[in-house]
Structure 1
Amino acid sequence: MNFSIQPQLANESVTLLPLKESDFEELYAVASDPKIWEQHPSKDRWKKDVFQNFFDGAIKSKGAFKIIDQATGKIMGSTRFYDYDENENVIFIGYTFYGTAYWGTGTNLSVKTMMLDYIAQFVSKIKFHIGAENIRSQIAISRIGAIKIAEEQVTYFGEAPKLNFVYMIDQDLN
């Protein structure tokens, strides 16, 4: 791999900074809202010990970001690049969540567009795991042109496998 999956990225509204262990408390303050996780396969991720496991996986991935609101400097949520496969020329974007104050504001589109613009320089296929019950994320990912290609059990870091849909953007087809 001759590119970073944890660069610093920014546009007019958000900045993505590499997630650090020292970010836990501030990010957990956002993630502790049970509403965020209602449609997610891990519905109890708002609990501190469950979120700690998620956070540990994010740090170990070496591709996780904190999402910062340019206007306020506050953490809005998190996302990451993961599971790069050089042979298949593919990488995943996911594990994304935002505080509810940012829902419906265009933040997700802004973040995903910035991530796609960056990573598309290095890979031809970008995939996304979306929880089978996460209708909100399925709609959002379809709006950016991703197409559902599969259903599979995904084992999140330190958790039991859960049904996810796999969506993909294939630049070779565009």
Structure 2
Amino acid sequence: MDRQPVLEGERLLLRPLASDDWDALFAIASDPAVWEQHPMHDRWREDVFRVFFDDALAKGGALAAIDKRDGSVVGTSRFQTLLAPEDDPEEQSSVEIGWTVLVPRLWGKGVNREMKRLMLEHAFRYVERVDFRVGENNWRSRIALENIGGMLTRRTDLTSYEGKRALHVIYAITRESFAEGPLMSGSC
């Protein structure tokens, strides 16, 4: 699976993240409201966001979201962990989508919905399931995932941040549920 494709929708162009995107993305990420429900709530700080940004570049799979009207960077999202059945014979082929940052002025305007539709359409050419890992108290992201057809699974991920427990819940969309779901039944 190409984890850094160029994908184009009605309003967005998604392209591989580049080091030159730092200024535009940090301008978005430096707003504490972006991280208020996130387990890593201090990612608005430059030193903390720098680790996030450098990790995205190093691991590949990160995309910059470009507003087609004016060419500005309005966010980012990633294709993260890719699992093939040969990695675990009991498991479906899957990829994680997430690590999304979007400029607040576009929240609730259908932009995240379009971004996820483009990414899901691409992913389902290669995998059977897409997973989304979300902080358990990140209700903004959880509601957004449910609105695009994400189903809460019984799987969780427990990490530690600043010496505190950070529980993430896992949502999933299968190729079949995507084909029948809200992103394919109407416009974004």
Fold shared by both chains (TM-score > 0.5): yes
SS in structure 2 opposite 1:27?
A: helix
Q: Which residue of 2 aligns with 1:71?
A: 69
Deviation digits for residues 113-139 of structure 1 (CA, Å, limit 9, x no counterpart)? 111111111000100001111101101
The reply on whether 1:122 has 2:126 as its aligned counterpart is yes
The aligned amino acid for 2:23 is E
Q: Any conservation in 2 of the 1:37–1:43 contact (CA below 8 Å)?
A: yes
Q: Structure 1 unaligned segments of length 5 or more: list them.
A: none
Distance (whole Å) between structure 2 residues aligned to residue 86 and residue 55 of structure 1? 26
Q: Which residue of 2 aligns with 1:111?
A: 115
Give the number of the structure whose alpha-carbon radius of gyration is greater. Answer: 2
Q: Calculate the aligned-residue CA RMSD, in Å.
A: 1.8
SS in structure 1 opposite 2:40?
A: coil
The aligned amino acid for 1:59 is L
In the alignment, which of 153, 158, 167 is matched to residue 153 of structure 1? Answer: 158
Alignment of 1:1-174 (within 5 A): 3-87=1-85, 88-149=92-153, 150-154=155-159, 162-171=166-175
The aligned amino acid for 1:20 is A
Q: Any conservation in 2 of the 1:130–1:138 contact (CA below 8 Å)?
A: yes
Distance (whole Å) between structure 2 residues aligned to residue 155 and residue 85 of structure 1? 24
- Across the two proteins, how many residue pairs are aligned to each other? 170
The aligned amino acid for 1:73 is G
Distance (whole Å) between structure 2 residues aligned to residue 148 and residue 130 of structure 1? 10
The aligned amino acid for 1:13 is R
